[in-house]
Amino acid sequence: MKNKAISASKALGFGTAPVFFTAISTILGAILFLRFGFAVGTLGFWGAILIVLIGHLITLPTALAISELATNTRVEGGGEYFIISRSFGLKIGSTIGIALYFSQAISVAFYVIAFTEAFEPLFLWWQNHFNFELPRQAISLPALGILAWIILRKGAGLGVKALYFVVAVLFIALILFFAGSPIQTEEALRQPGNNFGFFNRDSFFLVFAICFPAFTGMTAGVGLSGDLKNPGKSIPLGTLAATVAGMLIYFVLIWKFSVSASQADLLEHQLVMSKIAIGGFLIIPLGLAASTISSALGSVLVAPRTLQALASDKSIPFRKFNYLMAKGKGKSREPFNASILTFAIAFLFVALGNVNVVAEIISMFFLITYGTLCLISFLNHFGSPPSYRPKFKSRWYFSLAGFLLSVWVMFMINPLYTILAYLMIVVLYLVIEHYNKDQKGLVNIFKGALFQLNRKIQVYMQKHQSDLETEEWRPAAVCISPHSFEREKVLDLMNWISYQHGFGTYFHFIEGYYSKQTYSASRDILKELVDLQKEEDNALYIDTMISPSYTSAIAQVIQAPSISGMENNMVVFEYDQEQPEEINRIIDNIKLTKAGNFDVCIFAGSSSIMRYHNGIHIWIRSTDLINTNLMILLGYIILAHPDWHKSHLKIFSICAPGKNEQTREELEELIASGRLPITLTNIEIITSEGNQSVPEIIRTHSKNAALTIMGFRDEKIKEKGEEFFCSFKDLGDILFVNAAQSKEII
C-alpha cells in the first residue's frame, strides 16, 4: 500500500524546472516591483545591497541545508515539513510544519493583495471619475476566487503550465526594465544617480522586514517534493539555482534603480519601475501581475501539500481533520480538501490584510523555519550519525551562521513578534506532544550532538587526568548490590552523593555466568530500575553487572571507566543492620578496593524511617584525622540535595580529658578553611571520661539522627572486624567512611 501511495503521489513526475521556476517566480515577486525602489530610496544603494546580502546569508545556508538533507533521505510530499519531521521527529516537524503551513497560506493572501497594486491606474481613474476610493478588495477577492477555481478544478498540472507563462511575462518585464532609460527631469534634486552617498541606519530593519519575503521564495519549489520524479536531484539543483540567480538579479536591480531614478522618485512612486522600463506603463503592471500571480501560484501549490503531509502523519490532534486533509483527489492525490482550507485562510487575510503588516508576519514564520533547517544541518554535521550520508554536502559553519543570523534578525525586526512567534511554537509543541507521546521529541534532537560532545569531553578529561587530580576533590562513587528493590535507601544515598557535586554509578548485581538468559534478565531489571528512578527524578546512572561472585563483580566494577569522564574514586558498600553476616563479605573485599586507592564507604541501613529534619551527625576523633575532611565533605554534599533542605549538619568530636579547647580550635580552623555552612553552635565537643565506650557515647547523642557519619580505620577492621560495625546497630542509618588519603578542603 505504501509503495502504491508513493508512486501515485509522483504520478505527475515533475523534473527540476518546476522547482526552479516555482522558486524564482516567488523570489522575483511582489516585493521586487512594489518595495525595492522604496528600499533603495530609503536606505541608499549600499543599504539595499546590505539587505540582499543579509537576506542571502540566511537563505543560502538554508538552501544548502535543504539540498544536503534532501540528498540524505528519500523526500516525499510535504517539502520542508517532510525534511524537518524526518530529521527531528514528528513532534518537532509537526510544530514547525504547522507554522510553515500558515506562513505559506498567508503568503497566498500577501501575493494576491500585492496583485491588486497592478491595477493602480484603475483605482486612480475610479477616484477621479466617481470621487471616492475603490476598495482594493474589489480586485483582490475576485482574483483570489478565480485562482481558487483554477487550482481546485485543474490541479497542480495546470498550475505548473500557467507558471511557465507568467514566468515568461515576468522576465520580459525585467528585460525591458533593465533596457530602459533613466528618468529625466529638470529639477536638480530629482536627477538620477544620487542614491550612492547615504545610508539610513535607523530604518534598516523595518525595510528589511518588508523586503525579506522576496528571498523566502527560494524554498517554494521544495513543496513540490511529492510530485517530483527525483527529489534528491531536483531540489538541490532547482533551489540553489533559483537562490543564486535571484541574488544576482537583485544586485543588478538595485544598481539599475540607483542610476535610473532619484531618491525622491523612488520614495514617491510605488511603481517607479514603470517610469524606467521601455513601455513601462503597460509592461510593468503586467510584470507585477505576472509576478504576484506566479508567487501566489507557487504558494498555492506548496501550502496544501504541506498540510496534506501533516495530516497524513496524523500530526494534528484531531482525527477527523487529519482524515479530511490527508485525502487526495485522483491518481496524483491532489490535496483538494487542504486547498479549500488554504483558500479560506487566504480569503480571510485578503479581506483584512495590509501588505506591510502581512510581510512582517510572513518574515517571522519563514525565519523560524529557515533557522530550524539550518540547525538540523548543523546538528547532523556535529553529531555525525552513521545514517547521515548526504550526496550533497554543505559546511557546518554555514548552517550555524544561518541559524544564529535568523534568530538575531527576528529580534532586530520586531522583538514582540519574535516572542509571540516562539510562544506560539512552544504552545503548538506542548499540544502535539500531549497527543503524540510515543514519537521522537526534544530529547532526541540533540542526541547525536551530545554524544559527540560527551566523547570529546571524555577524551579531553583522560588526557588531562593528571591536572584534574590536583584540583578540588569531588566524589565519583560506584556501588554494587543485589538488593536494589528491597533496599531503596542505598539508592537514595547514591542519588544524594551524585545530585550536584559529584557523579554516582549504581550496579545491580546478578550472580551467575553471562548468557543469553542472564543478559535478558538483566535488561528487564535495568528497565524496571530506570523507570523507578525516573519517577524520582534523580541524577544517578544505573546499570547491571552479571558475574559468578560478588568479589569478581567488584573487581570488574572498579576497573570499568566512569561514564562521567572522571575516574571512579569511591566504592560504596551496603548491608542491612538486621543481617550482620553480610558485613564479612564486605570486609573481605575492602582490601580489593584499597589496591586501587579507592575511598570506601559502608552504608548500614536500618528499618527505621529516615527523618530528615533530625539532621546529619558527623563524628570526628583525633585518632581518625585522615577521614575527617572526607566525612565533612560528604555531609555537605548530601545536605545539598532537596530531600535535606530542612535539615542541618552537626559535628561531634570525642576528645581525651583536658583537650577540649585544643580540639575545638582545630575543628574551627578546619571548618573556616573549608568554607562549609556550619556555625560554632553546630560543633559539640564531648569529653570521654572513661566510664563510657565510644559506641555508647555515639548512640547516646545520635540515636535520633537521620544519618550518622563516622570514620573507620584499617587497623580497627583488622582488630575487631564484624564486632566494630555491630556495636552501632541501634543508631539508625549509618555511613562508615574510610579515606584512601586525606582530602584537602580548598
Distance (Å, whole) CA 708 – CA 729? 11
Greater model confidence, 157 or 167: 167
What mean pLDDT do residues 128-146 have? 84
Pairing of the two strands 707-711 and 683-687: unpaired
Give the pLDDT mean for 608-628: 86
Does domain 464-738 correspond to CATH entry 3.30.930.10?
A: no
pLDDT > 70 fraction of the chain, expressed in percent and rounded: 83
Residues 6+ apart with CB under 8 A from 498: 475, 477, 504, 538, 539, 540, 541
> Is the CB of residue 71 less than 8 Å from the CB of residue 236?
yes
C-alpha to C-alpha distances, 428 to 238, 376, 741, nearest whole angstrom: 32, 19, 55
> Rounded to the nearest 5°, which phi and psi values hold at 494?
-65, -35
The 3-state DSSP class for residue 197 equals: coil
Which range, 58-67, 363-372, 697-706, is most confident?
A: 697-706
Pair 253, 36: CB distance under 8 Å: yes
User: For position 654, what pLDDT does the model report?
Assistant: 83
Query: Is the per-residue pLDDT at 8 higher than 50?
Result: no
Residues 6+ apart with CB under 8 A from 335: 304, 305, 307, 308, 325, 328, 329
Taking the C-alpha atoms of residue 244 and residue 658, their distance in angstroms, rounded to an integer, is 89
The predicted pLDDT at position 200 comes to 81
pLDDT at position 745: 57
Give pTM, 2 decimals: 0.61
Other beta carbons less than 10 A from residue 114's beta carbon: 27
Place 79 in a pLDDT band, splitting at 50, 70 and 90.
low
Strands of 707-711's sheet, edge to edge?
A: 541-547, 503-511, 476-481, 570-576, 599-605, 734-738, 707-711, 616-621, 649-655, 683-687
* Percentage of the chain modeled with pLDDT above 90: 18
CA distances from 247 to 370, 379, 408, 525, 609 (A): 17, 27, 21, 60, 72
| Three-state secondary-structure class, residue 547 | strand
> Looking at per-residue confidence, does 484 or 160 come out higher?
484
In sign, the C-alpha dihedral spanning 575, 581, 586, 587 is positive
CATH code of the region 2-312+331-440: 1.20.1740.10
H runs (alpha helix) in 499-549: 516-536
Residues in the chain: 746
Residue 181 is given by DSSP the state: P
| Terminal C-alpha separation, the chain | 68
Cell of 702: 545520635
Beta-carbon contacts of 677 under 8 Å, excluding residues fewer than 6 positions away, are 636, 639, 649
Contact of 638 with 663, CB cutoff 8 Å: no
Give yes or no for residue 243 having a pLDDT over 50.
yes
The answer for residues whose C-beta is within 8 angstroms of residue 554's C-beta and 6 or more apart is 480, 571, 589, 592, 593
Q: Which of 112, 52, 32, 113 is CA-nearest to residue 284?
A: 32
pLDDT tens per residue, range 635-689: 988 988 888 988 988 888 888 777 777 777 777 776 676 544 566 667 788 887 7
- CA–CA separation, 59 and 26 (whole Å): 14
What is the pLDDT confidence band of residue 545, given thresholds at 50, 70 and 90?
very high
Residue ranges of E strands in 518-648 = 541-547, 570-576, 599-605, 616-621
CA 359 to CA 217: how far, in whole Å? 13
Q: What is the mean pLDDT of the chain?
A: 81
Neighbours of 346 (CB within 10 A): 29
Q: Where are the domains positioned within the chain? A: 2-312+331-440, 464-738
Contacts of 599 (CB under 8 A, 6+ apart): 475, 569, 570, 571, 630, 737, 738, 739, 740
Which 3 state secondary structure label does DSSP give 654?
strand
pLDDT single digits (tens) 452-493: 676 676 666 656 665 445 556 788 899 999 999 989 899 999
Note the pLDDT of residue 5.
38
Q: Is the distance from CB of 260 to CB of 272 less than 8 angstroms?
A: no
Average pLDDT over residues 145-172: 73
| CA-closest candidate to residue 211, choices 43, 402, 62 | 43
> At residue 49, what is the residue type?
I
